[in-house]
Amino acid sequence: MADNLFFVEPTTSRRGFLKLITNLMIGLVAAVLTVPLVGGLIGSSFRLKKSRWADVGNISSLPLGQPTSMKFPYKTEDAYVRETVTHDVWVIKHSSSELTVFSPICPHLGCHYNWHPDENEFICPCHGSVYALTGKVLGGPAPRALDTLPWKLEKDRLFVEWETFRVGIPQKIRT
């Protein structure tokens, strides 16, 4: 039988010994070879992307208490691809030094939501989640409030740390 070919005959014969040690050697080589293969498969699958501060622009002319969408160039570093892409954030200016910055990504399933000044609400077109000016969920399937982003002001220039979060869950977890 074939299994007899591979495994040791129940003897202590020289051939039985040879079969066992040959299997052992081949097994070891295969096992060691598995290490880089697994490493290569995992790769950077579990590595958080580095977030970076980006210059979003001048906020001196923004209206008070009104969300404004601000677009800015952002240098991404995705593995070996480095390019500049355009991102946007919702900025609400409370005073010259107090702001709220929302990520433009809907925490439900990741669509881009919009500000509806007539209703005074953020509404996501995809599944109809509705958020208040504070980011609180007012309706729809959204599992959590809008995600705020870290920001800082240098004179009148707004800098935002661009981060993304897992969508579809109540917790705000970075991706």
Partner 1 sequence: MLSKILKWINERWPLTTVIRWSLEEEMPGGTSYAYIFGSCVLIVFLFQVITGVWQLLYFVPTTDRGYESLNYLRTEIPFGWLIHGLHYWGASAMIILVGLHLSQVYIWGAYKNPRQLTWLIGVGNLLLTLALGFTGPILPWDERGYWEAEVAVSSAGTAPFLGTVARNLLAGGTALGQMTVSRFFFLHVAILPGILMAFVILHLVAFRKFGISGPWDEAKRKLTGLFWPDQVFKDGVAVTLIFMALIGLSAYRPPLYSGPLDVLETFYVPKPEWYFLFFYQTLKAFHGVFEPIGTIGIPLLITLLLIFLPFYDRSPERNPGRRVTAMVCYAIFVTWVITMAILGYYSKPEASTSGAPVATEATQAVSSSAGDPTLQNLEGAKRGGQLVASLGCTACHRVNGQGGVIGPEFTSALLKGKSRQWLITQIRNPKAHFPNSIMPAFISATDQQVNDIVDFLLATAQGKSVAAGRLAKGPSAPPVPAGLPQKTTPTPSVAPGPHGPPQEASFAIGNVELGATIFHQSCESCHGAQGKGKVPNPGSADGTVPPLNPIDPTLFNKNAQTFVNDIDPYIQHGSIPEGPNPVLHMLSFGDSESLTQQMIANVEAYVLHLNGVNRAQITRPGLEPRTFFWLVVVVFGFVLGGFWVWKGRRREKINR
Pick from 75, 94, 127, 174: which binds ligand FES (CB under 6 A)? 127
Question: What track of x and - describes contact with partner 1 for positions 63 through 82 (by CB under 8 A)?
Answer: ----------------xxxx
Check binding of 174 to partner 1 (CB under 8 A): no
**What is the token pair recorded at 18?**
């040879």
Check binding of 109 to ligand FES (CB under 6 A): yes
Instruction: Say how far apart CA 91 and CA 86 lie, in whole Å.
Output: 16
Q: Which does 39 bind (CB under 5 to 8 A by kind): ligand FES, partner 1, none?
A: partner 1
Pick from 129, 131, 146, 162: which binds ligand FES (CB under 6 A)? 129
Name the residue among 20, 13, 78 with its Cα closest to residue 44: 78
Residue 146 CB, nearest distance to partner 1 (Å)?
31
Check binding of 17 to partner 1 (CB under 8 A): yes
Classify residue 37 by burial, with Cβ atoms within 10 Å: 0-12, 13-18, 19+: exposed
| H or E segment to which residue 138 belongs | strand 137-139
Residue 103 or 129 having the CB closest to ligand FES: 129
Number of neighbouring beta carbons within 10 Å of residue 164: 15
Check binding of 106 to ligand FES (CB under 6 A): yes
Pick from 124, 146, 149, 160: which binds ligand FES (CB under 6 A)? 124
Check binding of 158 to ligand FES (CB under 6 A): no
DSSP labels, 57-115? EE-TTPPBT--EEEEEEEEEEETTEEEEEEEEEEEEESSSS-EEEE-SB-TTTSPBPEE
- Strands 114-116 and 121-123, how do they pair? antiparallel
Question: Which residues lie near ligand FES (CB under 6 A)?
Answer: 106, 108-111, 113, 124, 126-127, 129, 140-142
